[in-house]
């Protein structure tokens, strides 16, 4: 039996309060004030580009909901912030490896002699560029970034500089960039990781990869009761994000002592504790304030949707400042006794949308806090449950054409194909890591309504039964659909960003 999109979105809207429902866009009150450090999506998957099977791709998206036309100051990342990707490879919910990204914004002031009088001072132009933007000489600002690998504690561990790299300018428009795709690909750089090999790194603007009918959600749930997953409108289709993307040899990430193939990961952003505003800024960049004090974490993202539809509004800022090792102490009730399924039942129980009854919800703990045994649960018998993406690096990648966008949920009989042909079981997807084409919204919502109780797996693996989740086989959906075929099949996988302007209606880059 299929339940209405209206029922699902109504419950989601109540649960989210004022935060936007997207993977992690503007999800907490404080982060809305500092969008440059807002982590919006986090991906980690075994690379499915040809001949890259020994690599893991990790992508952390920041600065969401970019309007492509937003010049003349486009979407630079914060040079006063520290962006980090953390890897836990022994199951203790503490980082063992951290990749730090520290950005610098550079000024190349372009000034014109407007009256042809050599005695008159030249005057700086107001636009971001004065010609072909693929030529750095024609662009007034640029960004570079340093990558540092830290072994152990992110602040006190052993540090290795991996180099300094340049970031492409944002996609101003097709007049400023004649061939932005090739221009941007020129910024994919090799990353020397020492004895474990060489990876790749790219930081730059990309097309928003998340899909949802966001506008109608907040227009008094202005949605029809749709039966198909692909009948909704992706209101984010013309938005851009900034991606921090890495491709790292698996041997650099897994625990070399235990040889456990499962790794966990999450991304954070931190800023300095103190800001002193300069009442008389000087000419240049970043002269309006001085920053100081210890690094303070203000953004965190592992599993998608957690801070949006699981964590209560009063604790969303607390979650962004927290570390995975403290999740059970800080946030366990939100997983053990989630509010979203109950809201769905209150609103639409009369049509069969009944919330699961297996409390505490150990099936959710298994899916989101520990990993699923035999799939992506660490071997450590003393594992610390925590919110992070977990990936089994030994499970082979699936080519884009063969991926099931329901990921690991596709193993369940009855929702494996979801009415679509050639969409078989696929254990290489979310929540075993996360690929760009995984429909994490539909997966997470179905799991919250008890889909795993119908998996047929042993009760020791998924500790619940079909009788615990009467609606567990319901094909809940938000109606917006984007599959792996909507992304590139090569690193960094996310598509070319939307240009700020087009010189003609025939431009299509």
Q: Which residue has the tokens 């800022």?
A: 317
Indicate the pTM of the whole model: 0.92
Task: Render pLDDT for 85-124 as a digit per residue (tens, 0 to 9).
Answer: 999 999 999 999 999 999 999 999 999 988 878 777 889 9
Number of H helices, E strands in the chain: 10, 14
Handedness of CA 373, 210, 438, 247 (dihedral sign): negative
48: helix, strand or coil: coil
Q: At what angle do helices 340-348 and 440-448 cross, to 10 degrees?
A: 80
Q: Write the pLDDT tens digit of every residue in 317-336.
A: 999 999 999 999 999 999 99
Dist CA 469 CA 362 (whole Å) = 13
- Extract the tokens encoding 311: 């964590």
CB of 217 closer than 8 Å to CB of 21: yes
Reading the block at residue 169, the tokens are 């300018």
How far is residue 210's CA from residue 204's CA, in Å, rounded to a whole number? 17
Domain locations in the chain? 5-486
Low-confidence ranges of the chain (pLDDT < 50): 1-22, 220-227, 421-422, 506, 508-509
Percent of the chain scoring above 90 in pLDDT: 64
Residue 418 has what pLDDT? 61
Q: Residue 220 class from Cβ within 10 Å (0-12 exposed, 13-18 middle, 19+ buried)?
A: exposed
Quote the CA–CA distance of 439 and 487 in Å, as a whole number.
13
| Per-residue confidence (pLDDT) for residue 194, from 0 to 100 | 93
Backbone CA torsion sign across 477, 481, 489, 241: negative
pLDDT of residue 1: 38
Looking at residue 240, its pLDDT comes to 97
467 CB-side CA count, 13 A? 1
Q: For residue 356, give the H/E element and its range.
A: none
E strand or H helix that includes residue 63: strand 55-67
Tell me what pLDDT residue 226 has. Answer: 34
160 prior amide bond cis, ω within 30: no
Distance CA 255, CA 271 (A): 30
The DSSP 8-state label assigned to residue 451 in this structure reads G
In this prediction, residue 51 carries a pLDDT of 97
pLDDT in tens, 24-55: 565 556 777 889 999 999 999 999 999 999 99
pLDDT at 414: 56
| Local structure of residue 410 (DSSP, 8 states) | G
């Amino acid at each position: 039996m299929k339940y209405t999109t209206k029922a699902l979105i109504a419950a989601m809207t109540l649960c989210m309060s004022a935060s936007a429902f997207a993977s992690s866009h503007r999800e907490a009150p404080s982060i809305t004030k500092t969008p440059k450090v807002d982590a919006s999506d986090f991906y980690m998957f075994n690379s499915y580009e040809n001949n890259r099977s020994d690599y893991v791709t990790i992508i952390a998206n920041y600065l969401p909901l970019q309007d492509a036309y937003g010049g003349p100051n486009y979407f630079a990342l914060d040079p006063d912030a520290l962006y980090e990707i953390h890897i836990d490879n022994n199951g203790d919910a503490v980082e063992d490896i951290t990749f730090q990204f520290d950005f610098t914004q550079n000024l190349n002031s372009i000034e014109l002699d407007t009256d042809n009088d050599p005695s008159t001072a030249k005057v700086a132009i107001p636009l971001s560029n004065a010609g072909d933007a693929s030529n750095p000489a024609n662009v007034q600002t640029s960004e570079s970034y340093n990558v540092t690998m830290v072994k152990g504690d992110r602040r006190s561990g052993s540090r290795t500089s991996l180099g300094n790299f340049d970031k492409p300018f944002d996609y101003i428009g097709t007049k400023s960039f004649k061939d932005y795709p090739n221009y941007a690909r020129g910024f994919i750089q090799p990353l020397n990781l020492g004895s474990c090999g060489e990876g790749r790194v790219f930081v730059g603007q990309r097309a928003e990869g998340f899909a949802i009918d966001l506008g109608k959600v907040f227009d008094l749930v202005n949605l029809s009761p749709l039966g198909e997953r692909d009948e909704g409108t992706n209101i984010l289709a013309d938005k851009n994000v900034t991606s921090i993307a890495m491709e790292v040899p698996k041997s650099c990430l897994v625990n070399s002592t235990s040889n456990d193939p499962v790794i966990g990961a999450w991304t954070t952003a931190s800023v300095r504790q103190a800001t002193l505003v300069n009442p008389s800024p000087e000419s240049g960049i970043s002269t309006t304030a001085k920053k100081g004090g210890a690094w303070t974490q203000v953004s965190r993202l592992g599993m998608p949707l957690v801070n949006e539809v699981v964590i209560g509004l009063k604790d969303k800022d607390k979650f962004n400042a927290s570390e995975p090792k403290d999740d059970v102490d800080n946030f366990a009730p939100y997983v053990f006794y989630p509010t979203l399924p109950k809201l769905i039942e209150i609103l639409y129980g009369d049509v069969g949308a009944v919330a699961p009854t297996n409390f505490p919800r150990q099936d959710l703990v298994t899916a989101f806090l520990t990993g699923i045994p035999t799939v992506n649960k660490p071997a450590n018998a003393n594992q610390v449950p925590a919110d992070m993406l977990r990936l089994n690096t030994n499970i082979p990648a699936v080519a884009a054409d063969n991926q099931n966008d329901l990921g690991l949920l596709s193993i369940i009989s009855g929702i494996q194909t979801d009415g679509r042909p050639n969409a078989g079981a696929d254990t290489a997807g979310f929540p075993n890591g996360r690929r760009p084409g995984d429909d994490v919204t539909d997966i997470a919502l179905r799991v919250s309504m008890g889909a795993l109780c119908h998996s047929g797996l042993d009760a020791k693996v998924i500790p619940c039964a079909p009788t615990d989740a009467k609606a567990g086989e319901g094909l809940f959906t938000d109606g917006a659909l984007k599959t792996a075929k909507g992304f590139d099949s090569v690193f960094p996988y996310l598509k070319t960003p939307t240009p700020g302007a087009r010189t003609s209606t025939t431009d299509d880059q």
